[in-house]
Amino acid sequence: MSEKGAIRHKLTETIAEYMLKVKEGGGSINGMLRTGYVCDPRYRNHEVPPGHPERPERIGALLALMERYSRDELVKIEPRAAAIEEISANHDRRYIDQVRATADKPHIAFDPDTHAYSESYETALLSAGGFLSLIEHIMAGKVDNGFAMVRPPGHHAEADRAMGFCFFNNVAIGARYLRSRYELDRILIVDWDVHHGNGTQRSFYADKSVLYVSLHQYPHYPGTGDVGDVGVADGMGFTVNIPFPGGCGDDEYAAAFRRIVEPISRRFVPQFVLVSAGFDAHRRDPLSQMRLTREGFEAMTRSLVAVARDHYALEESVAGVLDELGGNDLGVELPHGGGAETVLDAVARVHKRFWKL
């Protein structure tokens, strides 16, 4: 495999978090939206056992990409460590202490997949804090949207449990930060990682201020994300799971966006859009059976940028996402989907009592 191909292959495995702010227009004179990004060599400090798929080399590949990648209105943002009070908005204090206790220890295994080494705790704080730094820049109007290339990842982490490579749930911490500091009450989280974000779902399962939409392979790790999981109490209807069988690709994801994601998102009228942007549904990822391409990730990003702008007049895969965050070609439609109609029919049947579909 060529160097370029190897880098792209690594990027398809990367679990990144990025967000799009709903705002009127962009701050750029030439009309291109200003995109902030977080990518820091310190994210390599979280070590993993040999052969582990969530490895420090991912950040090395992303740093190399950002040295080559060029686009107008691209702004690098320095990450900060999240404060304990920010982490505890989503995680139990006793659990945070358990993760903190791993600092300076040679190796602690929380489960067969999730390992902490001497610098894992500090790196996890920097991962969550990098996401919050990006939110702060967006809310201050310094950039229009952003892409946080951080590790360790977060969407499997539950309030009191590390799992699936994750310690602190970056996107959930970000959503709670938007609510507490900026008093937003309609936050959309779209999760297109191939694995269901069990931690994010549980964080907001009874909460109508956060609409959580997940597109994932099913059955697959961690075994959650059934169509019938829609939330409880005030949160009923605000969890939307689209559990695809293996083998789905651009067409099926396009159909899901057109039939489910876009209509529900527009009726929710989000004030802020957060995306758990895992690239492991890419056709070249060895740990899943999905068939997404760079064009598929571009199309999903384009769709969410359009959703974010609608309400206020408003690598293989990473470079494409950064291109689309620039806001160009928003009129290009997603391709028409083919398979997986049975799944989408089931999702529509379940959610038509909550949303007009």
- The whole-angstrom separation of Cα 38 and Cα 17 is 10
Burial of 29 per CB tally in 10 Å (0-12, 13-18, 19+):
exposed
- The whole-angstrom separation of Cα 348 and Cα 357 is 7
- The whole-angstrom separation of Cα 297 and Cα 283 is 11
Within 8 A by CB and 6+ apart from 140, the residues are none
Per the annotation, the verdict on 156 as an active-site residue is yes
8 Å CB contact between 172 and 204: yes
Catalytic residue selected from 156, 196, 216, 351: 156
Identity of the residue numbered 135: I
Burial string for 230-245 (b: 16+ CB within 10 Å, else e) reads bbeeebebbbbbbbbb
Q: What long-range pairs does 81-88 form, CB within 8 A, spacing at least 24?
A: 81/122, 81/125, 81/126, 81/129, 82/125, 82/126, 82/128, 82/129, 82/132, 82/168, 82/173, 83/129, 86/128, 86/129, 86/132, 86/173, 86/177, 87/125, 87/128, 87/168, 87/173
- The whole-angstrom separation of Cα 176 and Cα 89 is 7
Query: Which of 272, 269, 276, 268 lies closest to 300 in space, CA to CA?
Result: 276
- The whole-angstrom separation of Cα 168 and Cα 199 is 9
Burial string for 176-195 (b: 16+ CB within 10 Å, else e) reads bbbbeeeebebbbbbbbbbb
CA 216 to chain centroid, in Å, comes to 12
Active-site residue list: 156
